[in-house]
Structure 1
Amino acid sequence: MSYLAIVDLGSNSARMVVERLNNDGTYTEIIREKEDTRIAQNMGPERVLKEVPIARTIAALKYFQSQYSDFEPTVRAITTAAVRVARNQTQFLTRVKNETGIDFEVLTGDEEAYYDYLGVITTLAIDNGIILDTGGASVELIAVIDGQNQSAISLPFGAVTLSETFNLANEVSQRDIAAACKDILSQYEVLPWLNAHRGLPVILLGGANRSLARMGRTILGKDIINQIHGFEMSVEMVEHIFENLRYMSRQEREHIAGLEISRADIIISGLLPLLNLMQLIDAPRVIFSESGVREGLIAEMMKNNDKKYYELTPDERLASLHLDQRATTLWHDNQSETNAQLIENYVSDMRIPIGILKDIVVDDKHYAVPMATEEPSVIAAANHGAKLLNKLGGLHVKSPRQTVMIGQLLFYQTADDAIAQFVSVNQQAFFECAKHAKPSIYRRNGGLLSVNARRVSPTQVSVDFLIDTKDAMGANIVNTILEAERAVFSSFEANFLGAILSNYATEQVVTVSAEVTVQQIGGQHIAEKIVALNDFAKHDIYRATTENKGIFNGISAVALATGNDWRAVEAAGHAYASRTGCYQALTTWHIVDNLLLGEISMPITVGTVGGTITALPQAKQALEVMAIQTANQLRGIMLAVGLAQNLAALKAIVDGGIQRGHMRMQYRALALQVGATVEELPNLVFKLSQEQQVDARVAQELLTEMRK
């Protein structure tokens, strides 16, 4: 058993309920409170929340807190139209958070309509109808057809705003009512789905409509006038009550049984959305509901409690995290329907900046290379390194003839000779099985190349399948073939451990080399120090780790931009760096005559088609920017970028220190961190560069001084 407190800050009133969530999936209301806060009062066309309503609202929220705090509930605080459109929304929500500790979620109009719908259909037996929720500053309309939310919209007018705009608070004139009706109808009539659902009943929510129900029950002599949920009223009675109200003064309306005094000034305006809707769709009757947004929120929570996490929608998973409104909005606004299909338990996208290595010459061809990275200076270094290496004709690639991936069938508790003999005599069966399992790769002239048994230990054997995957990265191809091949080894089922590709694609070792003159690199002394620093990484694992990380700054940025598996690329690179039993740098630099020669070799598995590459539009665009046709081209370009990156890093370290070029980009990141605008960035970065010591405090002080 647990407790849920819902705080609902509407444009006219604030409401709070505490619900006990029972273990059997039901819930019981413990507390219900309402305060007339009128947060939308006098907002006017400038859409600014005023101080008096703000103070009144904060006082009400503090009172709500005093009522629910003893239950230690989960608190869900929502607010709707007035705060949604307020120009000072952020300042208001920050003040509320500071003074009450309550984090409000600002519902969109669509969300408000959705929760209205959920609240109604879970508590009333409604198959067909039009839901109308008349709030203080907005009206929500939802068409319910066969129990489903078929159409919904939130319109920017309500009881408070109509009253203020058309002078409907005190004695009202026919002219003002006519002007308000004209405005309302102009917004209704552009909704074709309203006319398509003529003759349906109207299901009513909202304070003004609840007041209408209480007045109607009083006229009918009902004993309990507040028992309105499911109460029905004829169109004629609605019109009769309105006709009586329109000719009364505000003081006279304050004495009508069933009408709260605090609503006497907004009851005329609050009923106009209903009257115009009834006439437009020729509604036969109205039905009142006490269940709306708050009950919809509870219904969603209870429904989600019955779902497994993977069955939730992205927004439902976001809601379960109980983030503040700013974070929720940020994550929601970065959602993608495509990406939601790629991973499990999806909630949002994380955007990584993409920059361009402007020109790198690989095998006599110029390429512009997209790079995705969050780290400052990486792309600048790649451009600098490429510029140096382009001077003598660029970089040159030596690639294997085929794109060969390795798949493994793993066996244990067995002698290697038995499996080795089995593999030797069943070669034809393996090839036939592979062709049957993945005919599409054979149509592209790829497929199984060889099968060999390899002893791993005295009791462990790997049967290695070498498969040409052409221009695909190949994981799905390899794993599909392996799963089929397992059946061929049925006699060894008791010894079978698993079937999986290897990311250590030793048949795909690519070598990229380049050269630059000693003079172009900064002279003999600088060239010799570059060679010495690189040699240090051949003998010291600490230096080798950092040097290889710098290489992958370039390689992985290209892999990420093109939708390839950068984790697999890095894993293979690190394994290759350890192939001698000692982890060392992947690059080698040495001097011959007047030239500094560099080389990088490693197995690299990437693709240009299939999988997420095809599913991600930006990955396809990145490949189009490079205008490459094959996976072999991409491998060469990626290692070329890695070699250029390495040269730039080594030169920076031996020729003045890595920080000198790096810090300007760090200053930019720090300036953004403390809240500088794009326009303020250049000036703040310059000021930071003049300081002896730089941190967030210094940056904040400089920014504050700039803004004076």
Structure 2
Amino acid sequence: MDSSFKHFYRKSYHDRLSVVGEYATLNDDAKTLIKEHVNQTDAKLIENYLTDYSLPEGVGVNLMVNGVEHAVPMVTEEPSVIAAVSNGARMLSKNGIDATVISRELIGQVVLHNPQPELLDWINERHGELIALADSAHPSIHSYGGGATDIEIRQLDVDDYSLDLSVNVSEAMGANIINSMLEKIGAAINQQSPGVVLMQILSNYATKSLVRVVGKIDFSQLGAPGMTGREVAVRIGLASHIAQIDPYRATTHNKGIMNGIDAVTIAMGNDWRAIESGIHAYAAKDGHYRGLSHWKVVDQQLVGEMTVPMPVGFVGGATSVFPLVKINQSIAKVKNARELMQLIAATGLAQNLAALKAIVTDGIQKGHMALQLNSLAISAGAAPDEVAEVVKKLRKIKNVGIDDARSVINQIRKSS
């Protein structure tokens, strides 16, 4: 282990950069670039801060949710994501997407190892008292319409049990709220039976924070070269079926949905990793990993529906730290956590529709490569004012690669 990293977290910013620079043999240009992106506020958010790493933010358009048109802020490095959302949303815009929040509660666990039957009886007998104890960790939560709502005991195996606490966290993300509540309950249980509490922690498997979205597309919106709208709809329905029976396909199917969901979640200052883990667990809720969305032909329409856990928050946490989050909430025209749940899920459905249509018609690569050319040009060294001309020339080349892009850049520069 490199001794220069000893007590790294105690070092000044200048010393940390010096250590990293020497360790990685960074040149002066690299260190200058790092320093150009330093943000003193962000430096207080994480340990061993070095620099800010930025990602592009764009806006998905055409998304109609419950009769309201939304522009959707999205943060992503993938060129085709925002284009796909906008395309899928356009196809869905005539009838719009209906979104419903089924429930909005988080679940936390106090895990008990080898509890005696008397302790389990004690917990069951004090259901109301333990809920009140949980609420005492955050006395103000009732003023926001929230609070602990239920306690259940689940047996995990012969020796282990989980006390599951359900909490309405109102507009917050809620992790800190629920973890504080769990610690209060855990302390009370340990007083009755010292050492029986193994751990107390929020669960990201948010089966009580669910949102359902439904979209309907007329066949006239789905036509493709050489295929009628009905034919495309039938093929999308078949592709959806494959995602229900084959985990290899389901994984990529769901990744496409998460392209949209993650991008909005990041733009809204929420924990995209928690959303990812909970949604993928939900995809396997019956013991088999399946596609999250279901598409089928109904009369003269293609109908898609999806239910996913979406435990996002509207206030607190990173939403209060990063100024762009509040701006993005305004751009998206969402006013609370429930509207945000609906918007994010609807974005995922629109993304899924666009991907499925591309896969069963032209193939995914045609659209991908058209949008990847900008990235290819930049990777090859094109300056911002050269990108458009480089891309124009690259479109004429089959099986284009980085060497082609470099050659085109050189030609442009020689002729200018």
Answer yes or no: same fold by TM over 0.5. Answer: yes
* Distance of aligned partners of 1:612 and 1:595 in 2 relative to their CA distance in 1, 3 Å threshold: same
For 1:517, give the aligned amino acid. D
CA distance in 1, matches of 2:291, 2:353: 13
After superposition, the C-alpha distances for 1:310-358 in whole angstroms (9 at most, x for unaligned) are 1223332121112211111111111111211211111111101000012
For 2:276, which of 567, 570, 575 is the aligned residue? 570
User: Is the partner of 1:691 in helix, strand or coil?
Assistant: coil
Instruction: List structure 1 runs of 4+ shifted beyond 6 angstroms.
Output: 304-307
- 2:158 equivalent to 1:458: yes
Q: How does 1:595-606 map to 2 (within 5 A)?
A: 595-606=301-312
Q: How does 1:59-98 map to 2 (within 5 A)?
A: none
Q: 2:115 maps to which residue?
A: 414
Q: 1:587 maps to which residue?
A: 293
CA distance in 2, matches of 1:613, 1:485: 28
Q: 1:397 maps to which residue?
A: 99
After superposition, the C-alpha distances for 1:102-138 in whole angstroms (9 at most, x for unaligned) are xxxxxxxxxxxxxxxxxxxxxxxxxxxxxxxxxxxxx
Q: 1:314 maps to which residue?
A: 13
User: Is the partner of 2:102 in helix, strand or coil?
Assistant: coil
CA distance in 2, matches of 1:326, 1:418: 67
- 2:376 equivalent to 1:674: no
CA distance in 2, matches of 1:313, 1:467: 41
CA drift of 1:305 comes to 6.3
Q: 1:359 maps to which residue?
A: 62
User: Is the partner of 2:295 in helix, strand or coil?
Assistant: strand
Q: 2:354 maps to which residue?
A: 648
TM-score (norm 2): 0.94
- 2:173 equivalent to 1:473: yes
Q: 1:379 maps to which residue?
A: 82
CA distance in 2, matches of 1:665, 1:324: 33
CA distance in 2, matches of 1:345, 1:706: 43
* Distance of aligned partners of 1:603 and 1:682 in 2 relative to their CA distance in 1, 3 Å threshold: same
Q: 2:28 maps to which residue?
A: 325
Q: 2:141 maps to which residue?
A: 441
CA distance in 2, matches of 1:704, 1:493: 74
8 Å CA contact retained: 1:420, 1:452: no
Q: 2:330 maps to which residue?
A: 624
After superposition, the C-alpha distances for 1:468-502 in whole angstroms (9 at most, x for unaligned) are 10011100100011111112102233221101000
Q: 2:198 maps to which residue?
A: 497
Q: 2:226 maps to which residue?
A: none
RMSD, aligned α-carbons? 1.6
CA distance in 1, matches of 2:205, 2:151: 17
CA drift of 1:443 comes to 2.1
For 1:524, which of 225, 230, 238 is the aligned residue? 230
CA distance in 1, matches of 2:392, 2:152: 62
Q: Which has the higher contact order (CA 8 A, sep 6+)?
A: 2
* Distance of aligned partners of 1:514 and 1:306 in 2 relative to their CA distance in 1, 3 Å threshold: closer
For 1:686, which of 363, 385, 392 is the aligned residue? 392
CA drift of 1:565 comes to 0.4
After superposition, the C-alpha distances for 1:532-580 in whole angstroms (9 at most, x for unaligned) are 0111010111110001000000000000001100011111110010011
**Higher-Rg member (1/2):** 1
- 2:262 equivalent to 1:556: yes
User: Is the partner of 2:194 in helix, strand or coil?
Assistant: helix
CA distance in 2, matches of 1:707, 1:334: 30
* Number of aligned residues: 403
CA distance in 2, matches of 1:650, 1:315: 50
For 2:132, give the aligned amino acid. E
Unaligned runs of 5+ in 1: 3-303
8 Å CA contact retained: 1:411, 1:495: yes
* Distance of aligned partners of 1:306 and 1:328 in 2 relative to their CA distance in 1, 3 Å threshold: closer
Taking only the aligned residue pairs, the percentage that are identical comes to 38
- 2:125 equivalent to 1:425: yes
CA distance in 2, matches of 1:418, 1:648: 56
Q: How does 1:250-265 map to 2 (within 5 A)?
A: none
Unaligned runs of 5+ in 2: 224-228
- 2:244 equivalent to 1:545: no
CA distance in 1, matches of 2:174, 2:297: 39
